[in-house]
Chain A
Amino acid sequence: MNLKRKIEKVLLNVQKPARYIGGEHNSIVKDKNKVDLRFAFCFPDTYEIGMSHLGMKILYSILNDRENIWCERVFAPWFDMKEQMEKENIPLFALESLEPVSEFDIIGFTLQYELCYTNILYMLELAGIKPYAKDRKELKNLVVGGGPCVCNCEPIADFFDLFMLGDGEDVILELSDLYIKHKKMGSSKREFLLEAAKIKGIYVPQFYDVSYNDDGTVKEILPNVEEAPKTITKRVVEDFDKTPFPDKFVVPFIDTVHDRAVLEVLRGCIRGCRFCQAGFIYRPFREKNIDTLCNQAKQLYNSTGYDELSLCSLSTSDYSEIEKLLTEITEWSNKNKVSLSLPSLRVDNFSKEVLDKISGIRKSGLTFAPEAGTQRLRDVINKNVSDEEIHNTCKIAFEGGYTNVKLYFMIGLPTETDSDIEGIINTAQSVVDLFYSLPDKPKGKGVTVTISVATFVPKPHTPFQWEAQNSHETVIQKHELLKNTRRSKKITLNYHASNTSILEGALARGDRRHSKVIYETYKSGSIFDSWGEGFDFEKWQNAFLKAGLDIAFYQGRKREFTEVLPWSHIDYGVSQKFLEKEAKKAYLGQTTINCRQGCAGCGANRFKGGECHAKY
């Protein structure tokens, strides 16, 4: 029985078979005999999650625009499909050709969150590929990684042949070209990797030795070959406005998490919230021109038929000409019955004009993220938003007919006390009170303020990278305090008391010794850790124990500024000096101006082409 028929046989036994069969509009099928390189782009989560990811769409399009490269998509099969595939001996396959991933030259994983790490091993083994890089001797099946988690990829370093740091648009083609050259020359894997290590932004972990101190901290990270630089610096695309953006998206048959056209309005963030990893690792701040964005919107509409368009970025309302952009886009979108969504709005620059533009089409809830409950703590985290701004924005929203407001907060932030936690409830209560004080409030409707409370996870390359994370017990106590402080029934309180953020905290700042832990956990049957169906903390605890490592050492320990961090050889543009200065200012409750008010000197403007578009 051939593979295709085997796949078809099991598809009717699983939920949503369209996840596994490809054939979507705009998916790209080439003749495998006419290409020099086959690239399997793997997203280590379900189809619905992976198909929502913009980075994959960008790189899929860039690779396939090259005639001699065929890039295909691969997602992690859900539990029901896994069972069927194992029963019928079906190896992991790619969606365009329905051929085994083991036939591909490069197998690339995008690393979006720490809890997908076991799924990498799951996918490799399902493909029949050895998970440890040292066990893969051939050049073929080169396993590479990219995405935000690469900024500390040490926990998974043993599984990967190389990582790409920063913007992927240019480096992925440079890597592919080098691979094609060496494939044609019949080079060994080592010969290829030595050359790859010379490409800016490429990190080959096996060319670095890590030594440890007696107390378990890292002593030194040193290259062991001449070709490998002492520090690996991330890549930044030369001209963000002109960098290739897909004119087509693969249009899924089934509902995905974000099933719509997406524009990347800007990259980076001017804000510098001290907890936010994305706010630092995507620097410098860069914007696209309005004309570029309008053209891309029309192209995507014509090629996909989507009736929803999302203006995506870390903070879309920080786009320097947001009102002009919205005016031009809505003029076109209203005419074509396309609805517009702005997923990331800030409280402080949310004007009535912006609201009018988006509410003209569909009225759903509004979401804001004050992140902390008191002004003092918001100053500590440099979330420069005041109570007054929150109230002004909510007032505009209520007067515009909105009755649902969602507020995002974090608990466990550095210097947090009980009064900061009570402040979360007080902030929500003041929004409720504001609603009832308004003469122009929507008639005949009540107000709902939903607060979602997440647990703070200190992340590498942020000013809080040295901080201790709260223990599970402390987090639960804080949840209790929240529950007991709330009085109004108009306030809905959402939090979850799972250990996932503890694990995330350990893996985010882990070192190379974690590879063993991840492998062990996977071997004990753990996959899909970001899903309730998959996560089993006990398996992780056992694996840490077996490896002789302590979760709290990574997650709950405050580091000295002088400690060699596991990611100290990885440079994302923002200097360690700057991060340290920011951490010290946090303790003093001092804020830092945003990039538009003035340059704080983070260091990210040194990249070629990485000119800060933030105007000051």
Chain B
Amino acid sequence: MQNIRIFFKKTGRAKYISHLNMNTLWARVIRRAGVNMWYTEGFHPHMYMTFALPLSLGVESLCESVDMRLMDNISFDELLVKLNEALPEGIEIYKIAEPNINPKFINSAEYEVTLYSLSDYKDAFDSFIKKDNIEAVKKGKAGERVVNLKDYILSADSETQNSDLILNLKLLCGTQNTLNPQLLIDTFLKNININSEGAKIVRTAVFDKDGNLFN
């Protein structure tokens, strides 16, 4: 038995698969691939797996990971090929390794956001993000509360690309404090009073508290 960490991308249509449904999906992928993973030994045995970080519905990612326990004697390269063949459109493994950083030390994440047809609003965003206080209602397990989003933003840059506005965000993300980039975008759009064509959000990197890349 060997602990493994599977790094994968979740893009395109796959972004609409909820975090809850990812467990079922991966268990089926493993079975389709004909690979043996370790099962829990309780009353209802199930395939053991833990995801480093949840990913919001509708957000794409280039840096997701799930830990499992491999029972077969098979190389990581071979495993990667087998699993990729069994994965649905939009989910692709790019690396399998032994786990190094414990996921509980994850502290921040980077996102690339594309706001379609909003290139004219670059200045508006830049002055919005400079404000000392960006109030928004955060919904959590404990209910709704008003927070200052600035407390969660490590950095935020903007640029334009054709008619789109691109944002590069580094936000707190982890077991302690997390900001969903969608909330920041919604707050900005409300601020400029725009009904947008929608946004594409991609998580591009995850870091631990010391700034090490979780990869």
Q: Which residues of A approach B to under 8 Å, CB–CB?
A: 1, 5, 8-9, 11-12, 17-18, 21-25, 251, 253-255, 301-307, 336-337
Contacts and interface: CB of A to CB of B under 8 A. Distances in A.
A307 B58 CA distance: 28
Contacts of B147: none
Interface stretch (B23-31, B65-73, B130-138, B207-215): B23-31
Interface string B91-117: 000000000000000000000000010
27 contacts: A8-B198, A9-B197, A11-B16, A12-B58, A17-B16, A17-B57, A17-B58, A18-B18, A21-B16, A23-B12, A23-B88, A23-B89, A24-B88, A251-B28, A253-B17, A253-B21, A253-B88, A254-B18, A255-B21, A255-B24, A301-B31, A302-B34, A303-B32, A305-B27, A305-B86, A307-B27, A307-B31
Contacts of A255: 21, 24
Given A18-B17, A25-B88, A305-B86, A253 B34 contact: no
Interface of B: 12-14, 16-18, 21, 24-25, 27-32, 34, 39, 45, 57-58, 86-90, 116, 182, 197-198
Given A8-B198, A23-B90, A305 B13 contact: no
A22 B17 CA distance: 11
Which of B16, B87, B116, B182 has the most chain A CB atoms closer than 10 A to its own CB? B16
A58 B12 CA distance: 28
Nearest to B200: A8
A23 B14 contact: yes
Nearest to B33: A305
A303 B85 CA distance: 11
Contact of B28 (A1, A21, A304, A336): A304
A18 B14 CA distance: 9
A5 B90 contact: no
B45 A337 contact: yes
Contacts of B13: 21-23
B45 A253 contact: no
B31 to A, nearest CB: 4
Contacts of A17: 16, 57-58
A304 B58 contact: no
Contacts of B17: 18, 253
A572 B151 CA distance: 71
Which of B12, B21, B198 has the most chain A CB atoms closer than 10 A to its own CB? B198
A253 B32 contact: no
Chain A to chain B: the 3 pairs with minimum beta-carbon distance, closest first = A305-B28, A23-B13, A305-B31
Contact of B58 (A11, A22, A253): A11
B84 to A, nearest CB: 12
A305 B198 CA distance: 35
Given A25-B86, A253-B21, A336-B31, 17 more contacts: A5-B198, A9-B197, A11-B16, A12-B182, A21-B16, A25-B32, A251-B28, A251-B88, A253-B16, A253-B18, A253-B88, A255-B21, A255-B24, A303-B32, A305-B32, A305-B86, A307-B28
A262 to B, nearest CB: 15
Contacts of B34: 302
A205 B17 CA distance: 43
B27 A18 contact: no
A21 B58 CA distance: 11
A306 B32 CA distance: 8
Contacts of A302: 32, 34
A306 B27 CA distance: 9
Contact of A304 (B21, B32, B90, B182): B32
Contacts of A12: 57-58, 182
Contact of B116 (A5, A11, A307): A5
Which of A23, A301, A303, A306 has the most chain B CB atoms closer than 10 A to its own CB? A23
Contacts of A303: 32
